[in-house]
Structure 1
Amino acid sequence: MTRVEIVDDHFLFADALGSVIRQLEGYEVVGIAQSGAQAVSIARTARPDVILLDYHLPGYDAADLIPRLRQLSPEARIVVLTSDTTDATLMRGLRAGVDGYLTKERALDDVLDALSKVAAGERYLTDEQVARTRALSGEGTGEALTERELEVLRLLSQGKESQAIADELTISANTVRTHLQNIFSKLGVHSKLEAVTAASSRGLL
């Protein structure tokens, strides 16, 4: 029997999902949490096999909560299920070590497919997410762009110069130049124009 914990502050959504999972053969819903504190409590007592985790919870982000859940249930597989479709959140979730990642716009069948695969020890990402993570990793050094580097890129694509970017982000112009050097290295480019072109072609803007 696969023990499932659902963590989502929208109770109607979580309860409806729990009702569907309870009807599946071989699955048991051991708890529904609406906060990070409740998620920790259920993980401690129920030792779930799979945790379906909303990324944004009151007072918590999944990236902060996942290490605690891993500590309490080392064998648990964690799937982020979120309405946040931004690249930054996707990359934070993957860096936190999630076993699956889905947005809530996906069909129910996709959610159940992810649950089945993750419970079986596989990792679950959609083809689109795989493509996005490859794009975010760049073709230069292979390192992923940070959230601040993505912010700099977006402002750069709007035609803003280094000082204007610095003013908007409340950082120094020297710091902006350092970010640009890192962006060039990670994307394998040599100019601002090339950086914007490469970022646009990879779906980062």
Structure 2
Amino acid sequence: MEAITSEPGRNRVRSERPLPLAKVLLVDDHALFAQGLAGLMQQEALAASVTTVRSVESAADLLAHQDDFELVLLDIALQGETGLALLPRLASYREAPPVVIISSSEDENTVRAARAAGASGFLAKSAGRSALVSMVRAVIRGDGYFPGGLVPLPPDLPLTPRQMDVLLLLAQGFPNKRICQSLSLTEHTVKTHLKAIFTQLGVHNRTECVSLARARGWL
């Protein structure tokens, strides 16, 4: 689908800070929310131009042909697919912009999955203006933005931190290849981690693994 680009008026006075960003890409398939967020980015002088697309495919195609986007805001649930699927595809780009996940789901596991996939930040759709401004400023400084931090995993969890990263991406529907790309691991290493996770749970396939991990409170 063709991208929708929104341009603000040109009479806004620029501040000395490195804002507004020249170009921001917003990936969201809810038109009203996308229009509202794009407008808010411009009202708060966070972006001079916001381009909106509705799918991972459209976003990947746009980023492959335009390398001047300075930030990507990515909904985690897009037309039946996970927005996180975009992150592994950016690994092959020479200078991929930072990606911040925006989501109506604020649970700890969604935040962990976003972080494990390589996102630079996470912003709940229920957040207000001040949180939006804080997020953009933090991310462009390179600090990242994960409000409230992450609740530590249970100390008796029989998985290593890296195995947990693999499990979180598995639960998001990532195939092995994309888990490899997201975590910068070889396919052999990912398979080794999956085997260890399956052994801990006593399961034989991915569906059983995710279901039992949820039942045990690991996800």
What's the TM-score once normalised by structure 1's chain length? 0.63
Say yes or no: does 1:130 pair with 2:150. Answer: yes
Does 2:48 correspond to 1:28? yes
2:77 is equivalent to residue 56 of structure 1: yes
Give ranges in structure 2 of 5+ residues lacking alignment. Answer: 1-19, 172-195, 203-215
Query: 8 Å contact 2:113–2:168 — kept in the other structure?
Result: no
Residue 77 of structure 1: aligned partner: 98
Aligned pairs, number = 159
| Cα displacement (A) at 1:148 | 11
Aligned to 2:107: 86
In the superposition, relative to structure 1, how do residues 126 and 138 fare at CA in structure 2: closer, same or farther (>3 Å)?
Answer: farther
> Identity across aligned pairs (percent)?
23
What is the match of residue 17 of structure 1? 37
Counterparts in 2 of 1:65 and 1:180: CA distance versus 1, 3 Å: same
Q: 1:140-183, CA deviations, whole angstroms, 9 ceiling, x for partnerless residues?
A: 66523735999xxxxxxxxxxxxxxxxxxxxxxxx9993358xx
Residues 45 and 140 (structure 1), Cα distance of their counterparts in 2 relative to 1, 3 Å cut? same
Structure 1 unmatched runs, 5+: 151-174, 182-195
| Cα distance in 1 between the residues matched to 2:62 and 2:155 | 35
Q: Which amino acid aligns with 2:119?
A: V
- Change in Cα spacing, 1:77 to 1:176, as seen in structure 2 (3 Å) is closer
**1:105-147 CA distance string (max 9 Å, x none):** 22232122111210221110112x422xx22686766523735
Structure 1's 140 and 70: CA in aligned 2 closer, same or farther, altered over 3 A?
A: same
| Matches of 1:93 and 1:16, distance apart in 2 | 23
TM-score (norm 2): 0.60
Alignment of 1:1-205 (within 5 A): 2=21, 3-25=23-45, 27-47=47-67, 48-72=69-93, 74-127=95-148, 129-131=149-151, 134-135=152-153, 142-143=160-161, 144=164, 146=167, 178-180=199-201
Aligned CA distance change for structure 1 residues 51 and 13 (closer, same or farther; 3 Å): same
- Distance change (3 Å), C-alpha of 1:176 and 1:33: closer
Q: Tell whether the 8 Å contact from 2:116 to 2:169 is kept in structure 1 after alignment.
A: no
